[in-house]
Amino acid sequence: MLITLIRPDDWHLHLRDGAALRAVLPHSARQFARAIVMPNLRPPITTVAAAEAYRARILDALPPGMSFAPLMTLYLTDNTPVDEIRRAVEHPDVHAVKLYPAGATTNSDSGVTDVDKCDAVLATMEKLGMPLLVHGEATDPAIDVFDREKVFIERVLQPLLTRYPRLKVIFEHITTSDAVEFVAACGANVAATITAHHLLYNRNAIFSGGVRPHYYCLPVLKREEHRRALLRAATSGNHRFFLGTDSAPHARHTKEAACGCAGCYTAHAALELYAEAFASAGALDRLEAFASFNGADFYGLPRNTDQVTLEQAQCRVPDTYAYAEGEALVPLRAGEWLPWRLLA
């Protein structure tokens, strides 16, 4: 069986920098026309000038003959000036501003400690239509790690939208039925991205027969009932849910460690993994809108026009890929078989 769809875009992607960037970029460019590129480098991308320079490095790392458009984002801090937001709005290559609650995830130490500190910036974004991308987890260490998304909605996101009711918000990599219900109940200015791994796995994957660090990401995988709610949302036909892989590469030795990094690498087979999830729900006919239309429409960008084809055929995932400076990268499903394959 073959399925053909308009070429998809990835609305949440970590490309890293330097040799790591060169290692992972071809995987995304093989599948996706464009991607919203996360700004959580060290140091983070906090200015339009830094985003421009990072974009140039991404384009420079693209192998000859491949085409791919990086859509840049700014990393919001407590001190982001309103003028930087105005520059971003005017810049054709900067498409969103990312809110990392300080301490919530990988490279979030420079993130926002209290959204009230960003009042003027958020008011400007609301007025000028600049989308806010949100890593939605409360950071209070007293909160159970599995409840952080739900508590974030109650303590931060709902009050934020009450205060800025027309702010365009994309609730990134949602992982709970609470987030699904919240987004579904919001108006046309609020959307969410969903990863392939949160559609395919529940939290048992992290502990099956021992600790499995390659299934550890943030927000962490949740119970089966939440996975089912995400799958229902992704396949519902609601235009405000769309594809964002959150493919987050980390060198093998930094994941297989006493304190392993958070992030699953899925860019090598992103569309194949989504196809598997949609097929499991008998909803392959809904994949194209989720992967190729809804995100572009929400961002106000043109839809792609060329196509990709998936074949239902077993395809083995390598044990590792080469990563930066002699390091190895372990992809999701390493050494296992995938039921779908993207044709060249």
φ, ψ for residue 341, nearest 5 deg:
-140, 130
Q: Considering CB distances under 5 to 8 angstroms, the limit depending on partner class, which of ligand NCD, Zn ion, none binds residue 217?
A: ligand NCD
# residues contacting ligand NCD (CB under 6 A): 11
Q: Considering CB distances under 5 to 8 angstroms, the limit depending on partner class, which of ligand NCD, Zn ion, none binds residue 139?
A: none
Of the pair 6, 251, the CB lying nearest Zn ion is at 251
Q: Contact between 135 and Zn ion (CB under 5 A)? A: yes
Q: Contact between 135 and ligand NCD (CB under 6 A)? A: yes
Q: Contact between 217 and ligand NCD (CB under 6 A)? A: yes
- Residue from 39, 44, 131, 263 in contact with ligand NCD (CB under 6 A): 263
Radius of gyration for the alpha carbons in the chain, expressed in angstroms and rounded: 19
119 is catalytic: no
Closest CA to 190 of 123, 111, 121, 134: 134
Closest CA to 98 of 15, 194, 172: 172
- Residue from 40, 80, 189, 193 in contact with ligand NCD (CB under 6 A): 40
Q: Which x/- pattern over 271-290 shows residues binding ligand NCD (rule: CB under 6 A)? A: --------------------
Decide if 206 contacts 221 (C-beta within 8 A): yes
96: left (phi over 0), alpha (psi -120 to 50) or beta: beta
- C-alpha span between 194 and 244 (Å, rounded): 6
Q: Which x/- pattern over 107-126 shows residues binding Zn ion (rule: CB under 5 A)? A: --------------------
Query: Least distance in Å: CB of 100 to Zn ion?
Result: 7
The residues near 208 (Cβ < 8 Å, ≥ 6 apart) are none
Stretch that binds Zn ion, among 105-113, 121-129, 265-273, 335-343 (CB under 5 A): 105-113
> In Å, what is the CA distance from 127 to each residue of 86, 96, 164, 168, 259?
11, 14, 9, 10, 42
Q: Contact between 105 and ligand NCD (CB under 6 A)? A: yes
The dihedral formed by the CA atoms of 41, 137, 127 and 163, expressed in degrees to the nearest 10: -150
Active-site hit among 9, 10, 178, 246: 246
Q: Angle, nearest 10°, between helix axes 18-31 and 270-280?
A: 50
- Residue from 5, 11, 13, 14 in contact with ligand NCD (CB under 6 A): 14
Query: Least distance in Å: CB of 39 to ligand NCD?
Result: 10
- C-alpha span between 160 and 115 (Å, rounded): 8
Tokens of 3: 């399925």
Query: Least distance in Å: CB of 133 to Zn ion?
Result: 9
Q: Contact between 246 and Zn ion (CB under 5 A)? A: yes
Q: Which residues bind Zn ion (CB under 5 A)?
A: 105, 135, 246
Residues forming the active site: 246
Q: Which residues bind ligand NCD (CB under 6 A)?
A: 14, 40, 105-106, 135, 217-218, 246, 248, 262-263
